[in-house]
Amino acid sequence: MYEKILELLKKGKKKVIGLMSGTSADGVDSALVEIEGHGLNTNVNLIEFITYPIPKNVKSLLFDVFPPARCSVEDICKLNFAIGEIFAKAVLEVIKKSGISIDDIDLIGSHGQTICHLPNAEIKSTLQIGEPAVIANRTGIITIADFRVADVAVGGQGAPLVPYVDFLLLRDEKKSRAIQNIGGISNVTVLPTGSDLDKVIAFDTGPGNMIIDEIVRIITNNSQNYDYDGEIAKKGVTNDDLLTELLNHPFINLDPPKTTGREDFGKYFAQSLIEQAKSIGICESDLVATVTEFTARSIYENYSKFILPNYDISEILVCGGGVHNQTLMGLLKCLFYPINVYKVDDFGLPSDAKEAIAFAVLANETIHGNPSNVPSATGANRPVVLGKIVI
């Protein structure tokens, strides 16, 4: 076992696959990258990227597990292995598409599928499934997974974890940047000019695509999983009263470090909004427009309270699925003007692949024994090496 790791450590360049499935659970993002070096000397080149679909029957089981859960421990146990099989297939598929031999792949970093995240509970905890032993044994490749729990074990929130990778790949010596990820949940990483890692801050700002996606699924009877290009929102008009109520959600005003998830903004939240909208006569397109503006405004409000008073932000780099929602991006550009809002693609990292790439980088850091949580972001009491190694 140790011989395999020692061989890896001797390599100047490694081929690593990063795996990520977000809160939408539409598919497993699988990024095959070549990584040279580690730590501050990390260089990354994307070789291939795919999104491997999660079958509808498995996705249905997943949504029964997500809060508010309608499942048993047995369901979670079986799903852990079923998701592991899907993640393994995502690995094999991206290798096949790349044309590279499986024997040339050095490492896998798997985020897994979050099914519960309780960073503020009396007993802090987080749970990701997608059994890494299945991934390692189906592929024959060393797999590192379960990255979040080590940070929680030392008092952190287990999220966000991508800020470490943002620091390695996107820091700038001459300007302060904010990296804004809009996945199911929105989170920001602030990279001060020429900053040291201990000066980086990051936190969840609130909902990203989660509420929009869930409402669209419900009102289209599952014929759409999200608002394509923001077209539904574009047709609607924001209801100012409902928007004001949403912006009073306690999470928006909560001081960082903070993280959130389906427990706050999941299916139950979306269903209650639909019922509220019906009761006061808000049509479906207006509701989608309102929650889309809520996502944009919740991001802006967090910047206004916690970032802009303390940092001279020159540019905001947006990544995640939210970059495809033209209505949402337009709102952000208007709210933040004159600060420039870009897609992270313009800086050499494809938006759709960025988080999967991040877990490839985190796996590389783990194998080198480098701590990769950011205590100033997660609230942990010390830096720790993340992940569990399965050979």
Residues of the chain whose pLDDT is less than 50? none
Q: Are strands 107-118 and 143-145 parallel, antiparallel or unpaired?
A: parallel
- In this predicted structure, what is the pLDDT of residue 267? 85
For residue 1, the model assigns a pLDDT of: 64
Q: Which domains does the chain have, with CATH numbers?
A: 2-160+351-390 (3.30.420.40), 171-347 (3.30.420.40)
Distance (Å) of CA 319 to CA 49, 50, 162, 168: 15, 16, 12, 16
First CA to last CA distance, the chain: 7
120, β-bridge pairs = none
- Say whether 380 sits in a helix, a strand or coil: coil
Helix, strand, coil content of the chain in percent (nearest 5): 50, 20, 30
Q: Which residues contact 324 (CB under 8 A, 6 or more apart)?
A: 229
Helix axes 284-306, 210-219, angle to 10 degrees: 170
Summarised one tens digit per residue, pLDDT across range 334-383 is: 999 999 999 999 998 999 999 999 999 999 999 999 999 999 999 999 99
Q: What pLDDT, on the 0 to 100 scale, is given for residue 71?
A: 87
- 266-318: pLDDT as tens digits: 888 999 999 999 999 999 999 999 999 999 999 999 999 999 999 999 999 99
Residue 210's pLDDT is: 94
Could you tell me whether strands 185-191 and 201-207 are parallel, antiparallel, or unpaired per DSSP bridges? antiparallel
CA distance 189 to 257: 11
**What gap in Å lies between CA 78 and CA 73, rounded to an integer?**
9
Report residue 25 CA to chain centroid gap.
11
> What confidence score (pLDDT) does residue 83 get?
97
Shortest CA distance to 154 belongs to which of 385, 389, 364?
A: 385
d(Cα 95, Cα 48) in Å, to the nearest integer?
Answer: 8
